[in-house]
Every structure is written in C-alpha cells, then in structure tokens.
Amino acid sequence: MEIQAQLGFCGGNSGDPIFTEDFGSGTTDGPALPAGTTTYNFTTGTPADGDYTISSTTNYYDWLSIQDHTPGDSNGKSFIVNASFTAGEFYQRQVTGLCENTTYEFSSWLINLQRSGSCEGNSIPVNVRFQIWDETDTNMLAQGDTGSITAIGTIEWKQYALVFKTEPGQTSVILKMRNNSNGGCGNDLAIDDILFRSCGDNVTVATPANEARLTVCEDQGGVSRTLTATPDSSVFNSHVYQWQQSTDQQIWTDIPGENSASLNTSAVTATTYFRTKIAEDIVNVNNDLCNVVSDVFEITVLPIPAAPVSNGVVTICEGELGTLSVNTQNLYSINWYDAATGGNLVLSDNRNLETGIAGTYYAEANSTEIECASTTRTAVTLTVNPLPQIPDDLSTFLCEDSSTTLDAEVENVTYRWSTGETTQLIDVTEPGDYDVIITNTNGCSATRNFTVEQIDLPQIDKIVSDGPSIVVSTSNNGNFEYSLDGISFQPSPVFDAVAGGFYTIYVQNNTDCGVVTQDFYHLVIQKFFTPNGDNVNDTFEPDGLEVFNTVTISIFDRYGKLLKFANTNSTSWDGTFQGERLPNDDYWYLITADSVQFKGHFSLKR
C-alpha cells in the first residue's frame, strides 16, 4: 500500500522526470554505490549496524520480506540501510543537468523494515532528513524531515518530497539524506525510486466560450478557435509560453511565433491537439528539463460515417414481428427513418428495428458524440405475407359407434392435423377437440379448430302403462323423439289414449343417429269404475287381454279376501260379491296372462 505523506510536494504541475534512481534489478546484491555516496559499509550479506546493501530481498533478521517499490520490476532492488549507532548522514549524491532559476520537486519512497512488536516493543523508529544543497555544498536550498516512521508490521511504502528552486546560473544540486535517530534495535529502512522533476503551475487551456475540448464533423469544413492558457500561479511568478500542436499526442511540434498566453489556431480539418510549454524564464521554455506543459486542448474531427450495410430484406407472416438490421462500425449509432431523405424518425440508436408493418425503412449511421450522419441512408424492406383465409371454427357431432369427416375446406395448401394426418379431410371416431394447421405457399400458417361432440343412442330404461297412457323413460338424456309406429315421432315420451295391446316403442335422437326399439304390452286398467247402472264405466274390465291365450283374473279386498276369480272368457267384474253390492273402497287385482303377471289396485265409486 502506498501512502503519501507530504513534506512539500509540488503544488502545481510536475514535469517529466529528469533524474531517477531505482537501484536496478537482479538476484545478485550490489553493485556498491559510487565512492563518496555514503560513509556506510557495503555488504552482499546481512547488513549489520552501519552497513548497507543493494538487493532484491529484505529477508534479513526478522525484518519484513518485501519487494522493491518500482512498479513492474522483476527482482527489483532497493537501497537497504541498517542505521549506524550514531545519527548522521548516510547518503549524498550530485544531481546535474538542471536548469537555472527553476523550481523542482525531489521525492523518494521509504519503508520501515521492522515488524510490529520488534525489539520487545522498543524498536527505534526510522526518521530521515532530506536536504538539497547547491553545487558548492555551502548553501542549503531546502530540507525536511519524515518524522518518526514507526514499525507497523505491514508493507506500506511512503513517498516523501521536497520542493526547491535553483538559483541563477545553477545547474546542479547535492542531495543528502541524514539519519536523525541513532542505530541499535530498529531504525532499519529501505529506500527506492529517487526522483527529480520540474515543478510549475497548473495550466488550463480553454476557449472564450469555456470549451475544454471540441468535437466537430468532417462536413463542417475547417474550424478554428482562440485558445487561452491560464496558469494558476501556484509556483511561477512570471510566465513564458511556447505553443505546440500534435496529431497523435506523441510527437509535438512548436508553432513558430506563438509565444503569448493565447493562440488562434489554424483551420483544422483533421483531429489536432494543442498545448503550451510554460517556464518562468525565456531561457528555459524550450528546455523540457526546465518547463512544464499545459492541459491538452483537443479538436476532434469526426469522419462522416459510411452508410450502414443491410443484413437483407425480411419477410414475415401477417401478425408477426420482423427484425430489420444493419451493420456499421462500433463507434456509430443507427437511426431509422421512413424516407430516404428527411422523413420521420422511427427509432434511434439501435441497429435492429422490430416492426410488423410492411414497407421500406431507411437506416442512417451517426456519431454517438455529435450530429455527424452518413450522407445516404440504407434501405431495408419488410414484406408481410397474408395468412391463409380459413373458415370459422366448427362444432359438429359424432354418432355413437360411428365416424364423421372433418374438412379443412381450404385448397392448394398443406395441412397438419393434431392427429398427425396431412390431408384435407380426415375421419374421426372419437369426440373431442381437433385442429389443423393450414400453411399457404408463402409459408404462412393459420389454425382452424373443430369441436366434435358425440351423440349417444337413447337407452330405454323402462316403459309403463299409466291408465290409457304409455310412458317411456330413458337412462340418458338427449334430444329424443318417440313413436309407436316408427314413422310418426313426437318429442314427448308420453302417449295418451292408447288402446291396450302389443306395441313396439321407437326412440331416436333428432340428429338422425339411429333408432332403438323395445316391445311393450300395454294393458289398460281403469283407476276406478262406477257401477251405478248408468251404463258408463259400470264394470272393471282391463283392455288388451285379448292378445293372450290364457288369462286369469283375481280381485281382492284390502284384507286379501278373494272376491272374484275369472278366466279368459270372463275378465270383467261388476262390483258385487255373492250378489251383494260392495261398498266404495280400493280393491286389488292379480292378472296372469300366459306367463306374465300384472298387479295393482283400483277404486270402486258408486
């Protein structure tokens, strides 16, 4: 973890490094620093108090085992110091090639190599003083102390810096590092990435409209702007300028004669970058070791996009959605219109247009930054084919134990029935829902549905005589019709005023799904008779017994007393017993006709 602790960093804009020391890389310790750089002893092994080494490892004693600070180093080395028992200077070197009357920033990265809790908790902290002296070593230009860097047990390189200014005529300085603490248990450190670079103002560049950059379209022709450099005067007391331009921000070219705070650019037809170099002294402005540069003002000229490339016409069926699409470079967006020029915007910023409306649509490529559109639009057509014209869904019926034919009723198409069949007509023998997918020559499909309901044959449950009426009951329901002759049918299951005798009963569904029959002997027995001598209903006499060969009839009172017994030749009763007229009451009968018996009761009313 890198933590900055400011002793005095450049408050403005730092220039490019003009001196660096990262102590190299490799697995072999050394080489030793040049003579006069330090009074400490160089060692290729474990450094004792007052020793130093240049190494890619710090795995000594119980120190932290760390990598150097330089980013990207492989086996990078650092300057490793085991402090002397006596405080004092442990490093100095001369830095040359500086510019006179110029502000610089010196910086270096340090770390305490002791682990937390070392020396029984009494580890001596690291405390280093940085000093910058003039080249005569008699005039100190700046100094600053790191303060106590205690052992915290984690790898935290910290950067420290000093800002100083060279004097007129001065082109080199002497860097010194002093150990403010005595050695012993602790005060063991590593140093890496010593750096010198110029320090100047932060300088912004903008137009009178306060634009910090400009983007234009190629079809706007050459554009120009007035650029103004504004230093923050955080470092420089005076300002000298040299404007530059570049096409790649790598190679910069001075613009002759442009040495003021403002620049009127030439007409720009291709992307161009502008900046200015700044120094306090005209002698230094063209020396990159002595100046700083402003922010970059970019005039970006966007090329007119080529018209997008169609991915082809799209054909869909009525009721579907089709996706029209085009390709273009990734840096462009696509807008869709309903006309080749002008027209209405249909969809913006999408390479795909989804619609179900037939027609030709037009795709235009455009910049994502500004309005900079292709000069032509690409036509993409959507064709919508009609669906097959099919009749309405159909409900039909199926007679029990039979089949019915379903007809798609559309010709010159293909068929796919839910049964798996592929013909126009199919026969089905089961009730239920059926459908057929009908596809025309355009490949468009529609579905016709059929509901088939089974019509069951009537099931005769029973047939009874109710006086002169015949009543038919069925065990299932339906739109049934009833007949006694198989010709004339009625919707009622009751036949009224039917003479006694043998009949065939016919029952059918009104959908002509077949007839069921059952033979029935209709015996008409009065519910009462009135033997009062008016010759109307004076006797109890069942109607219909004449069809039988042998008939017996027995009549009983409510107590079971036999009142009348007769045979085929005498099947009536006049309401007397042994010549005596019997009173009004209910009486019972038992009729045996061949092998069939009929039982019931009737009333005698006088």
CATH at residue 130: 2.60.120.260
Q: In this predicted structure, what is the pLDDT of residue 1?
A: 36
Q: What does the chain come to in residues?
A: 606
In a shared domain, residues 417 and 480: no
In a shared domain, residues 37 and 165: yes
In a shared domain, residues 435 and 575: no
| pLDDT at residue 489 tops 70 | yes
In a shared domain, residues 447 and 476: no
Our measurement of the distance from residue 261's CA atom to the centroid of its chain's CA atoms, rounded to an integer in Å, reads 53
Say how many C-beta atoms besides its own lie within 10 A of residue 263's C-beta.
24
Containing domain of residue 427, as a range?
Answer: 394-455
Q: In this predicted structure, what is the pLDDT of residue 4?
A: 36
CA-to-CA separations, 133 to 96, 139, 216, 260, 557, in angstroms, rounded = 12, 6, 52, 34, 154
In a shared domain, residues 157 and 17: yes
In a shared domain, residues 518 and 407: no
Give yes or no for a contact between 366 and 372, defined as CB atoms under 8 angstroms apart: yes
Q: What is the total count of domains within the chain? A: 6
Last residue of a domain, one of 405, 440, 455: 455
Residue 560: partners with Cβ closer than 8 Å, 6 or more residues away: none
Q: In this predicted structure, what is the pLDDT of residue 5?
A: 38
Compute φ and ψ for 219, nearest 5 degrees.
Answer: -75, 0
Q: Report the C-alpha gap between 355 and 345 in whole angstroms.
A: 14
Residues paired with 407 in a beta bridge: 425
**Tokens 């613009």 -> residue:** 255
The pLDDT confidence band at residue 419, using thresholds 50, 70 and 90, is very high
Q: What tens digit of pLDDT does each residue of 384-398 get?
A: 999 999 999 999 999
Mean pLDDT of the chain: 93
| pLDDT at residue 330 tops 90 | no
Closest of 500, 482, 503 to residue 491, by C-alpha: 482
Give yes or no for a contact between 444 and 387, defined as CB atoms under 8 angstroms apart: yes
Closest of 129, 126, 119 to residue 148, by C-alpha: 126
In a shared domain, residues 100 and 33: yes
Mean pLDDT (whole number) for 465-490: 94
Containing H/E element for 309? Answer: strand 309-310
In a shared domain, residues 317 and 431: no
SS3 content of the chain, % helix, strand, coil (to 5): 0, 50, 50
CATH at residue 584: 2.60.40
- Is the whole-model pTM more than 0.85? no
Compute φ and ψ for 218, nearest 5 degrees.
Answer: -55, -35
Our measurement of the distance from residue 251's CA atom to the centroid of its chain's CA atoms, rounded to an integer in Å, reads 46
In a shared domain, residues 207 and 193: no
Kindly give the residue spans of alpha helices, DSSP state H, lying in 93-241: none
Q: Report the C-alpha gap between 112 and 127 in whole angstroms.
A: 9
Please give the full DSSP string across 403-438, using - where no structure is assigned: -EEEE----SSEEEETTS--SSEEEE-S-EEEEEEE
Query: Quick check: helix, strand or coil at residue 332?
Result: strand
The pLDDT confidence band at residue 7, using thresholds 50, 70 and 90, is confident
Q: Report the C-alpha gap between 133 and 96 in whole angstroms.
A: 12
Closest of 97, 86, 72 to residue 19, by C-alpha: 97
Mean pLDDT (whole number) for 437-465: 95
Higher-pLDDT residue of 4, 475: 475
CATH at residue 410: 2.60.40.10
CB-facing half-sphere around the CA of 557: CA atoms within 13 A: 10
Give yes or no for a contact between 132 and 173, defined as CB atoms under 8 angstroms apart: yes
**Tokens 């600070």 -> residue:** 69
In a shared domain, residues 74 and 194: yes
Q: In this predicted structure, what is the pLDDT of residue 283?
A: 83
Q: Report the C-alpha gap between 258 and 64 in whole angstroms.
A: 55
In a shared domain, residues 369 and 398: no
Q: Which long-range contacts (CB under 8 A, 24 or more apart) does 474-482 make?
A: 474/507, 478/509, 479/509, 479/510, 479/511, 480/507, 480/508, 480/509, 480/510, 481/507, 481/508, 481/509, 481/510, 482/506, 482/507
Query: How large is the C-alpha radius of gyration of the chain?
Result: 59
In a shared domain, residues 549 and 436: no
Our measurement of the distance from residue 286's CA atom to the centroid of its chain's CA atoms, rounded to an integer in Å, reads 56
What percentage of the chain reaches a pLDDT higher than 70? 99
Mean pLDDT (whole number) for 421-445: 97
> Using the 8-state DSSP alphabet, how is residue 186 labeled?
B
Query: Quick check: helix, strand or coil at residue 287?
Result: coil
Last residue of a domain, one of 469, 489, 522: 522
Last residue of a domain, one of 183, 200, 217: 200
Q: What tens digit of pLDDT does each residue of 300-317 get?
A: 999 999 999 999 999 999
Give yes or no for a contact between 285 and 278, defined as CB atoms under 8 angstroms apart: yes
